[in-house]
Amino acid sequence: MIRVAVTGATGRMGKTLVQAIQESSDLTLAAAFEHPSSDALGADVGELAGVGKLGINIAAMPTADSTTQLTQLEAFDVVIDFTVPEATLMLAQVCGAQGKAMVVGTTGFSQAQLSALQQHAQHMALFMAPNMSVGVNVMFKLVADAAKALGDSVDVEVMEMHHRHKVDAPSGTAVRLGEILADTLGRNLDTDAVYGRQGITGARDRKTIGFSALRGGDIVGEHTVMFAAEGERIEITHRAQSRMNFAQGALRAVRYVNAQPAGLYDMQMLLGVN
Alpha-carbon distance of 123 to 45, in angstroms, equals 30
The catalytic residue positions are 162, 166
Give φ, ψ of 225 to 5 degrees. -110, 125
- Going from the C-alpha of 130 to that of each of 32, 33, 200, the distances in angstroms are 22, 21, 33
Q: Which helix (H) or strand (E) holds 30?
A: strand 27-34
Residue type, position 212, single letter: S
Q: Which residues of 225-256 are buried (b: 16+ CB within 10 A; e: fewer)?
A: bbbeeeeeeeebebebeebebbbbbbbbbbbb
DSSP-derived secondary structure letter, 62 = P
